[in-house]
C-alpha cells in the first residue's frame, strides 16, 4: 500500500526509513478531514444523532460525498468551524473565495466553473510569535465579517503575530502599527497566506 501511495505521489516512502506526506497527500488528507467533520456536524446538528455515534457514521459516508455536495453542506450548515464530538477544527475549503459570504453569493449554476486556490491557506493559530503573513480567507457569516472589518482585518491585510496564549487563550497581533487581541475562536476563523518556508516550518513544529 505504501508503494502504491508513493507511485500516486501521495507520500514519500523509503523502506525502513518511514513515510512523509507529499503536498498532494497533505491536501487530500485535509480534504477528507473536512468532509468527515462537516458530516459529523450535519449528523449531530440536523439529524440529532448522538456524539458517540457521529464519528462512525461519518466514516461510512465521507468517501462518497462529492465536492459539490461538500460545498452545499457547508453553506447549509452556515460554515461551521468545529466538529461536535471533540471540537477539532474543520479545515477550510480549497475554493478560490476570500470569504464564506463570497461563496454564498456566487450563484452560477455550474459547480465546475469554481476555481481552486492557487496557494494553500493555513490557520492564523498555526503561526508562531514574530511571524508575518497576509490574510487570505475569513470563515463565517456577515456578523463575523463585519466584526473583523471593524477591526481592520480583511482579506489582503498584513499582520504580525505577537503572542498566542496557551490553553486556547487570546491571540495578540500587530496590524498597521496597532495591537489587537483576538479571542481564540475568532482567530481560528482567520486563515493566512504565508511564505512557503513558514508553511513548512509551522507544520513541522
What is the CATH code for 122-204? 2.30.30.90
Q: Which fold has domain 2-91?
A: Arc Repressor Mutant, subunit A (1.10.10)
Per-residue pLDDT, 196: 58
C-alpha 32/C-alpha 204 separation (Å) is: 20
For the chain, the domains span 2-91, 122-204
Per-residue pLDDT, 104: 92
pLDDT in tens, the chain (205 residues): 888 888 888 889 888 878 898 888 888 899 999 999 999 999 999 999 999 999 999 999 999 999 999 999 999 999 999 999 778 999 999 999 999 999 999 977 778 889 999 888 999 998 888 889 999 999 999 999 999 999 999 999 999 999 988 888 899 999 988 999 999 999 999 999 855 544 444 444 4
192: cell is 493566512
Contact 181, 172 (CB under 8 A): yes
Beta bridge partners of 161: 173
C-alpha 124/C-alpha 164 separation (Å) is: 10
Per-residue pLDDT, 188: 92
Contact 125, 171 (CB under 8 A): yes
Collapsing DSSP to helix, strand or coil, 201 comes out as: helix
Amino acid at each position: 500500500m505504501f508503494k502504491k501511495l508513493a507511485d500516486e505521489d501521495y507520500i514519500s516512502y523509503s523502506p525502513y526509513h518511514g513515510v512523509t506526506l507529499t503536498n498532494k497527500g497533505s491536501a487530500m488528507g485535509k480534504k477528507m478531514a473536512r468532509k468527515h467533520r462537516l458530516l459529523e456536524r450535519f449528523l449531530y446538528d440536523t439529524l440529532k444523532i448522538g456524539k458517540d455515534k457521529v464519528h462512525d457514521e461519518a466514516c461510512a459516508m465521507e468517501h462518497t460525498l462529492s465536492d459539490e455536495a461538500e460545498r452545499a453542506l457547508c453553506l447549509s450548515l452556515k460554515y461551521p468551524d468545529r466538529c461536535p464530538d471533540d471540537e477539532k477544527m474543520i479545515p477550510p475549503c480549497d475554493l478560490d473565495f476570500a470569504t464564506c459570504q463570497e461563496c454564498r453569493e456566487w450563484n452560477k449554476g455550474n459547480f465546475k466553473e469554481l476555481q481552486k486556490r492557487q496557494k494553500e491557506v493555513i490557520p492564523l493559530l498555526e503561526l508562531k510569535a514574530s511571524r508575518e503573513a497576509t490574510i487570505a480567507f475569513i470563515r463565517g457569516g456577515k456578523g463575523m465579517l463585519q466584526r473583523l472589518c471593524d477591526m481592520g482585518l480583511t482579506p489582503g491585510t498584513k499582520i504580525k503575530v505577537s503572542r498566542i496564549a496557551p490553553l486556547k487563550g487570546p491571540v495578540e497581533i500587530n496590524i498597521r502599527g496597532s495591537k489587537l487581541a483576538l479571542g481564540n475562536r475568532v482567530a481560528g476563523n482567520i486563515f493566512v497566506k504565508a511564505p512557503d518556508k513558514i508553511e513548512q516550518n509551522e507544520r513541522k513544529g
